Structure 1
Amino acid sequence: MANIENMKRIPDDVVEYSLFLDIPSDIEDDKIFDFLQKLADSIIAHFSTRLVNYIWQHESFHLRPVLSTNESIPPHLYGSTSFGDNIDDEWFIVSLLYEITKEFAGCVVRVNDNDEEFLLIEAADALPKWLNPETAENRVFVYNGDIHVIPIPESPEDYTKFPMFTPSLREAVACVRDCTSLTRCSQAVQNHIKKRLSSFPQKSEESIHHVNCYLPTPLAVLLDSYPSLVSAGVRRFYYRDPLELKACRPMKRFKPDDLIKARVKMTRCLYAQLVQQVFAPDRRSGWPIIAPSNPEFLEHDIGVKLAHGFEILCSKCKEEDNVSVDSENLDSSNIRWQQFKQSLASKGYFRGEIEGSTLYTKLLNEAKQFYLSQVSSTDDDVGDIGQLVLLRLKTLEPKFQEFRTSTQNLPPSDDDSWINVTPEQVDELMKSAGGLAAENQTQPFDLSKISQSMSRFVEHESGIDGAEFPKEAVENGDGDGQVVGSGMIEAMQKLFGWYNFIITKKDFEMLHL
């Protein structure tokens, strides 16, 4: 069962999300699980055009019902996704959660990662002073497409509406629904977060990279039919160890004696992971070593790396003779699959294609792949993924010969000049992320202002909780925009995520050790 009370620390590359839906009061307790399961399927189907074809870095977005024996935790849908090295996956999920709260009435969402309430970091400059990691627990939610924060009561009237101490999740969700206008954050906070989300879902399409490479025919057909599997192969190659490479010496499944040039779809992050590693195959594997001066070096280099990644995957599972093509059981007897398929059709997922057509079959295969990732207990088990690859290869075998003749006229690979970032581009990214865009800098950088800001901070009298940033430094009371825009204090706030948090003198002194 999911532990959403943060009793365990969330790993660095994982985002967790809990969806508290409005459950009708007349539903019997033993029916709530099925109710939530149907809602989860409805949510996935509603956003199928975004989700089914999405190539995840590691794990996919998924939802499962949670019924807690703890009265303070209401029944809800829960999910966690490891996004690996691709932070865009995390923000894609956040944008999706925002849309879910707008499309499904009464849905209150909580989302966290190892930075806890990481959404607040985006709006650091606009947050109320009382809000910090200690006071934010169980107070930050997404509702109706907006960020909501349950305030700490300040007046007798507030005590009847808002909890003074950390609320339970049941209390917090009810508070957000009952006091929506009072818990909704200021427009400045909303704007900061929505600016971060404004590039989605378009950014998902922009991050796709197509590359032509030489692959064994079975692997080429597999990745053409099930593009989302590419991330599993890249991951196994990227995190390979010497023992795993031993399985690649005989190359039992992806031999280089049947190579064809194929077009592979992946994300820019996956492509960068493949390109940036120098790799030479073991001569015993039969794979040729191509000189970097060869005009087709990149096509061979990408292909050999993908083949080795999938060889490692398949080496960790049972022999293919033990794989049953009927193990999926996605036929008319699988009611949940049939309902999901009907929901996809009603949302226009199949683009009006006639059942049985080439495009319809491809879309159906991708939908099956995504559906299985939703019902699977885990999509992180290497052996399970390898088993799935072997199953797919068996079912796709009749297409191998046809595919050999269909890849003769491929469009060129996508331009990959984006992988080389200039120092000027880095500077521009830093400025835009820190709010120091050129148009906002009206005065030249003055080191004396930094010195003055630091002196005021050191000499400032501390309170019971430590020294706070001097008001004039934070609010820029002297009218000089440079103190805030380019001053050391604000730079430290942004760099270390201290936004409006209290810093003790001991903390400050530690920076100078």
Structure 2
Amino acid sequence: MNFSRTIRHLQAPALNNNKIRITMEIPSQDDSKELSEDFGAFPRRLPEDVVEYIVFIIDSNLSDTQVRERLQAFQRALNTLENKFLKEYIWQREVIKLGLIREHGRWLLKGSTNYGDSVADEWLIVYFLRELSKEFKDAWIRIYDTDGEFLLIEAANALPNWLNPEVADNRVWINTHRLLIIPLPKQEHPQPLSQLEALTIIRETPARPQRYPKIEKEAFHRLNGYPTAISENQHHATLPLPRKVAYILHHNPSYISPIVETFYLRDPLSLRLLQPEKSKAQALFPPEDFVDVSVRFTKVLYAQLLGQNWSPPTTLGEALEKLLKNKVQSEKAEISIKIIAGIEMLARHSVFSDKKAAREINLLLEDLESGDDILPSDAEIAAWPQREDDESWLNIDYEEFERELAGKGSGTGFGDKNAQDNLKKMVERFNAFIEDDKAGIDGAGGLDPMDVDDDSDAENRTWEDPEDSDEEKGKFKEESDGENSEDDRRADEEFSEYEKAHEKFMMLPAAEKALLLDEARELAITEEAEQEEDEEIQKLSEMMEAELFGHGALDLDPKAAKSAKANPGVSTKDKGKAKAVEEPEDSDDDDDILDDDYNLAQNMLKAFKGQAGMAGPAGNLMGMMGLQFPPDADDEHKQIGKGKGKAPTQ
């Protein structure tokens, strides 16, 4: 059976199945100033799948210039190791890199590597740095990843109770090929250690960091197969590829990594580039003129391509059918088409324009187009070395796998050797935990002092805490359980959606992330402006409503108001009875509606009349509705009457 996806899970040491996660808390704003003043205060959280490493030279007899020279020598030694072991190595995403920088008055080497899905890259970095620590005995090395002190996570089964996530930061160092841990001071309340404090301890009391053989053995057990494991992480396959693609990969075999990742993380916009009828552009790598060439992958890259279910569009689909008709093995034909799709998207999509591989591939295409270079002939391609590796590591005997899980493996193996070793180690740790006689209801070894909340002054306080009252707790629980359960359910659903969206966002390329962030900022600014505009309209509406009420324009029942003034002693109930007596039984609701409309119109006219020809809310409101009030007839009659009174009598 195909084991393309499961194999990575058994190879990866960063999974929850075979290690306990140690996470780091983000410092509060109050602590930011203190952290910024600490030496080497690095971010408390790293991006997903990133390992960071730092190298210090600590020797009180060396001057600042000599420290820098030692660090430069460390860089040269690392390059020597790379040239020796990594001539054909393919990194999943980024290579190991150490930059010489100066921070807080001290020279140091610092680097980070995004290893993606290939945890083997992370352990290769650990191997290199540990090997260099034998040559540079004054070098003190820290290495950690997204999960924190992952070397301690590997050795979780051998850790003492005091070495928990709250105090582990900056205590784990590699020096002279050993794993050294700075122990806790003798005090009641253990405190976390800053990097500045750790460096001070190493410089002033170098004997204080201790070696714990059991922890060291567990932490470095994955390095037992090195350096042989470096070459075992690679996989070679002979595939039919277009001559132009074969030329690109022969020029630099490491291009296969960004090609596979581009296909693996494809999106609808990228897929449009594979359809000439939609992209309106000719393909850079048309699926034609196929030649057989050997392609070098990492095992993770090969499994990623093999495990993808994908139906190629238009011309790529037709090319796949032709390969199958030519008796090409179905898996190899599909992988070839996926590589063509990946390199096409990588070279053409604007999101990848800042990638080094994309720029170099386009330069090679320009050389071919200008005639500065030519495609290789069949004879040249035949002279290229070809290699076909066994794919048995992709297959699994699930019966043997189940026996291994039960701790009853026969030793015959069920797939990849590294996966077998990792599974056996995981089963051993689990069985050791289960068989721990000291484990009780509180877990193995009982509760750790750091797990006890001793911040409260419950014993000495003179006030009574409502939370300690059983009666209050029961009452509060009855009142809030129903509401809280519903709120918790909604919160869990929202958080689950957020996690999915965040995971999808983190998988996007850096350029696409930047575009999405810019769009989010613009949307936030637009929404804020709309909110301010709505608030202004609401204020104007309230002011207009208050002014209309003042003029009586919104009083829809003036008769009731007059009646209330004329009969102040009559209650609301009596008014209702009197109205029932006065009104005939066949009174219709339409009369009330007509009366209301008439009253509204009459009040609006009175309000307009009260403006005395000046601007006012009634005139403005009716003007906005497109209505123009006629002159007041009562005023005209009054003026005529006054004129008649003034006429001389005959």
What residue is the counterpart of 2:331 in the other structure? 298
Structure 2 CA distance for partners of 1:53 and 1:194, relative to 1, 3 Å: same
> Which whole-Å deviations, capped at 9, do the CAs of 1:310-330 have from their partners, x for residues lacking one?
111111359xxxxxxxxxxxx
What residue is the counterpart of 1:62 in the other structure? 97
Quote the offset at 1:220 in angstroms: 0.8
What residue is the counterpart of 1:49 in the other structure? 84
Pick one of 276, 280, 287 that aligns with 1:256: 287
Quote the offset at 1:201 in angstroms: 2.1
Q: Kindly indicate whether structure 1 or structure 2 has the higher relative contact order, using CA contacts under 8 Å at least 6 residues apart.
A: 1
Structure 2 CA distance for partners of 1:218 and 1:119, relative to 1, 3 Å: same
Pick one of 273, 279, 282 that aligns with 2:304: 273
Quote the offset at 1:187 in angstroms: 1.5
What residue is the counterpart of 1:361 in the other structure? none
> Amino acid of the residue matched to residue 63 of structure 1?
L
SS across alignment from 1:398: coil
Structure 2 CA distance for partners of 1:26 and 1:463, relative to 1, 3 Å: closer
Verify the 8 A CA contact 2:247 2:376 in the aligned structure 1.
no
Structure 2 CA distance for partners of 1:457 and 1:35, relative to 1, 3 Å: closer
SS across alignment from 1:304: helix
Verify the 8 A CA contact 1:66 1:75 in the aligned structure 2.
yes
Verify the 8 A CA contact 1:108 1:173 in the aligned structure 2.
no
Quote the offset at 1:279 in angstroms: 2.3
What residue is the counterpart of 1:204 in the other structure? 230
Q: Distance in 2 between matches of 1:266 and 1:131?
A: 39
Deviates more, 1:83-92 or 1:281-290: 281-290
Quote the offset at 1:67 in angstroms: 1.6
RMSD between aligned alpha carbons? Answer: 3.9
What residue is the counterpart of 2:241 in the other structure? 215
Q: Distance in 1 between matches of 2:296 and 2:446?
A: 59
> Amino acid of the residue matched to residue 26 of structure 1?
S
What residue is the counterpart of 2:506 in the other structure? none
Mark the runs of 5 or more structure 2 residues left unpaired by the alignment: 1-35, 277-281, 405-419, 454-650
Structure 2 residue 433 is matched with structure 1 residue 398:
no
Quote the offset at 1:43 in angstroms: 2.4
Pick one of 255, 259, 263 that aligns with 1:237: 263
Structure 2 CA distance for partners of 1:455 and 1:391, relative to 1, 3 Å: same
Structure 2 CA distance for partners of 1:462 and 1:177, relative to 1, 3 Å: closer
Mark the runs of 5 or more structure 1 residues left unpaired by the alignment: 156-162, 319-379, 469-513
Structure 2 residue 109 is matched with structure 1 residue 77:
yes
SS across alignment from 2:294: strand
SS across alignment from 2:167: coil
Verify the 8 A CA contact 2:242 2:288 in the aligned structure 1.
yes
Once the two structures are superposed, the pairs formed by residues 439-450 of structure 1 within 5 Å of their partners are none
Verify the 8 A CA contact 1:21 1:108 in the aligned structure 2.
yes
Once the two structures are superposed, the pairs formed by residues 360-375 of structure 1 within 5 Å of their partners are none
Q: Distance in 2 between matches of 1:62 and 1:102?
A: 19
Pick one of 411, 419, 423 that aligns with 2:394: 419
Verify the 8 A CA contact 1:274 1:302 in the aligned structure 2.
yes
SS across alignment from 2:257: helix
Verify the 8 A CA contact 1:280 1:289 in the aligned structure 2.
no
**TM-score of the two chains, using structure 1 as the length reference:** 0.66
Structure 2 CA distance for partners of 1:393 and 1:105, relative to 1, 3 Å: farther
SS across alignment from 1:288: helix
Q: Distance in 2 between matches of 1:194 and 1:464?
A: 28
Q: Distance in 1 between matches of 2:112 and 2:300?
A: 20
Structure 2 CA distance for partners of 1:260 and 1:185, relative to 1, 3 Å: same
Quote the offset at 1:181 in angstroms: 4.6
Structure 2 residue 52 is matched with structure 1 residue 26:
no
**TM-score of the two chains, using structure 2 as the length reference:** 0.53
> Amino acid of the residue matched to residue 208 of structure 1?
Q
Q: Distance in 1 between matches of 2:75 and 2:384?
A: 42
Quote the offset at 1:389 in angstroms: 1.6
> Amino acid of the residue matched to residue 309 of structure 1?
G
Once the two structures are superposed, the pairs formed by residues 476-487 of structure 1 within 5 Å of their partners are none
Quote the offset at 1:284 in angstroms: 4.1
Q: Distance in 2 between matches of 1:36 and 1:410?
A: 39
Q: Distance in 2 between matches of 1:464 and 1:130?
A: 8
Deviates more, 1:273-282 or 1:392-401: 392-401
Q: Distance in 2 between matches of 1:60 and 1:189?
A: 28
Quote the offset at 1:142 in angstroms: 0.7
Deviates more, 1:406-415 or 1:276-285: 406-415
Structure 2 residue 124 is matched with structure 1 residue 110:
no
Q: Distance in 2 between matches of 1:138 and 1:100?
A: 20
Q: Distance in 2 between matches of 1:407 and 1:4?
A: 54
Q: Distance in 2 between matches of 1:167 and 1:6?
A: 13
Q: Distance in 1 between matches of 2:111 and 2:183?
A: 27
Q: Distance in 2 between matches of 1:455 and 1:129?
A: 15
Structure 2 residue 208 is matched with structure 1 residue 175:
no
What residue is the counterpart of 2:20 in the other structure? none
